[in-house]
Amino acid sequence: MTGVISILGMNLPIPEDEELQLPLWGIKLLSLIQPTILLAIAVSIGVALAHKVRLSAPLAEAVAYGTSLRRAIQPQVIPGIIGGLLGSIVLITIEFFAKPFLPLDFVLKGEAFSNNTSFLTRILYGGITEELLLRWGMMTLFVWIGWRIFAKGQGEPSTFYFVAAIALSAFLFGLGHLPLVFALGTQVTTLVIAYIIVGNSVFGLIAGYLYWHQGLEAAMIAHMLFHIVLVTANYFAR
């Protein structure tokens, strides 16, 4: 919820020519309702289903059961760092080659929105809340559904279910960024849509793999480091 609340610090892309019926602070408060509901659902799904399909959040479980926190988080740190660095390098590369072909208004407004998004929001919402939504909730649900439908819930889920769930949740993660693109009020071309979906999906694949093999906190570490690297790169690129 700290990630959800951090949205209050963002400058929402509200069209200037639209007559507002509510003050800006009221609109921001209303904007918290949807992510709060989705977060509650995602957390509940993960708590109910993750252990059934051999997925886990080792650090959270250590806190819950009073076991060693160090032993729970230590195996996740290095994979999380590697995943975060890899994801940021891939996205920076994609941006470098795609930027010259993207509409100028999209690039400028996208950069302005990015610069107005606080570092705290990136770390808390991007690094923690989105991982609870996409990995702990959505990916877990997809694995469980596949396992229940095709294996009747018998035995351990096969690799296929995890790979399919990772790919689908990553694609939906990329797709979920499109409403923001349209809200910016810029020219939205086929290339812009492909850029948004591919760029965000790539990291979703990495985070999904980390959640599967290391645990949820490894994906969170990677996601937070991903934003740290991007913010640092954008700062020196100015």
Contacts (Cβ under 8 Å, ≥6 apart) of 35: 4, 7, 129, 133
pLDDT (0 to 100) of residue 20: 55
- Residue 86, pLDDT > 80, answer yes
Q: Per residue in 192-235, pLDDT tens?
A: 999 999 988 999 999 999 999 999 999 999 999 999 999 898 87
pLDDT (0 to 100) of residue 80: 98
Mean pLDDT, to the nearest integer, of 67-84? 97
Helix (H), strand (E) at residue 32 = none
The fraction of the chain above a pLDDT of 90, given in percent, is: 68
Domain map (residue ranges) of the chain = 2-237
pLDDT (0 to 100) of residue 160: 95
pLDDT (0 to 100) of residue 78: 98
At residue 7, what is the residue type? I
Range in 12-21, 51-60, 86-95 the model is least confident about: 12-21
User: What is the DSSP track for 184-238?
Assistant: TT----HHHHHHHHHHHHHHHHHHHHHHHHT-HHHHHHHHHHHHHHHHHHHHHH-
The fraction of the chain above a pLDDT of 70, given in percent, is: 92
Please work out, in degrees rounded to the nearest 5, the angle formed at the alpha carbon of residue 182 by the alpha carbons of 180 and 186: 115
CA distance 115 to 109: 10
Q: Per residue in 110-149, pLDDT tens?
A: 888 887 888 899 999 999 999 999 999 999 999 999 999 9
- Pairwise pLDDT comparison (184 vs 127), residue with the higher score: 127
pLDDT (0 to 100) of residue 74: 97
User: 140-150 and 33-49 are packed helices; what angle lies between their axes, rounded to 10 degrees?
Assistant: 50
CA distance 78 to 30: 38
CA distance 131 to 128: 5
- Contact, 104 vs 234, CB < 8 A? no
- Contact, 229 vs 94, CB < 8 A? no
